[in-house]
Amino acid sequence: MEREIEYNERKGSRTGFTIVSDNFLDNWSGFMGVGPSVLYIMLLNYCYGKKIHAWPSIGTLAKKMGVTKNSVRKYREVLIKYGLIEKMYKRKLTDGSYQTNVYQIVRSEDLPDPGKNCG
């Protein structure tokens, strides 16, 4: 075990990881269900370090999650409804079309108790 720790401290992990708080796992994931929970974790994955913004496309998220684009849109609405993310705007391309949404994510360690957001 010591050898593994020494390797990780010296060179870092060869695979990334996403930290999710116990509050989210214990309270929110059961409250919202699997789909919105996985989407939230996927969005957190884009927010490494102290970042709180992510802009993956619906298509990218659907492909990574193994679901349809409509499912991602449905899960996104659940996250917006309960305040876990805020859809800020769409990035506009020079030709006038829209490329992707930009989301502001509430970090999992900053989430309140889900009972307080239920309405």
In sequence order, what DSSP letters do the residues of 30-46 get, joined into one string?
A: HHH-HHHHHHHHHHHHT
Q: For each successive 10 residues of the chain (119 residues), what is the average pLDDT?
A: 45 66 87 94 85 86 96 94 82 70 80 66
Q: Which of 64, 8, 14, 10 is nearest to 35 (CA)?
A: 64
User: What is the per-residue pLDDT for 2?
Assistant: 45
User: What is the per-residue pLDDT for 24?
Assistant: 87
* The model's pTM: 0.73
User: What is the per-residue pLDDT for 22?
Assistant: 86
Domains delineated in the chain = 2-111 (1.10.10.10)
Contact yes or no for 42/66 (Cβ under 8 A): no
User: What is the per-residue pLDDT for 50?
Assistant: 77
User: What is the per-residue pLDDT for 23?
Assistant: 84
User: What is the per-residue pLDDT for 15?
Assistant: 64
User: What is the per-residue pLDDT for 116?
Assistant: 63
User: What is the per-residue pLDDT for 42?
Assistant: 93
- Quote the radius of gyration of the chain (alpha carbons, Å): 16
